Amino acid sequence: MSIMPDAYDEVMEGFEDDLAPMSAEDLDTERREGDALPDRFVPKTDDQFEWALLKRHRAMAKAKEIRERRDEELRMLSMRFEKLIATEQATADFFTDMIERGIAVKEPDEKGKKTVRTVAGTVWVQHGEHIEWPADDALVAWCKANAPEAVIVFEKPDKKALKERIHTTGDLPDGVSVEKRETTVIRDA
14-35 confidence digits (pLDDT tens): 555 455 545 566 656 655 555 5
Domains: count for the chain? 2
**143 assigned to some structural domain:** yes
Is residue 82 located within the same domain as residue 127? no
Report whether 165 contacts 147 (CB < 8 A).
Answer: yes
Is residue 125 located within the same domain as residue 40? no
Is residue 58 located within the same domain as residue 136? no
Report whether 184 contacts 104 (CB < 8 A).
Answer: yes
Domain span at 124: 115-188
Degrees, nearest 5: CA angle 45-51-54: 140
> 104 pLDDT band (50/70/90 cuts)?
confident
| pLDDT higher at 88 or 4 | 88
Query: How many residues does the structure list for the chain?
Result: 189
Distance CA 136, CA 142 (A): 10
Is residue 181 located within the same domain as residue 160? yes
What pLDDT sits at residue 52? 82
Is residue 144 located within the same domain as residue 64? no
**110 assigned to some structural domain:** no
Distance CA 53, CA 55 (A): 5
Is residue 139 located within the same domain as residue 85? no
Is residue 182 located within the same domain as residue 124? yes
Read off the pLDDT of residues 107-165 as tens digits, 9 standing for 90 and up: 888 888 888 888 888 898 887 888 999 999 999 999 999 999 998 867 888 999 999 99
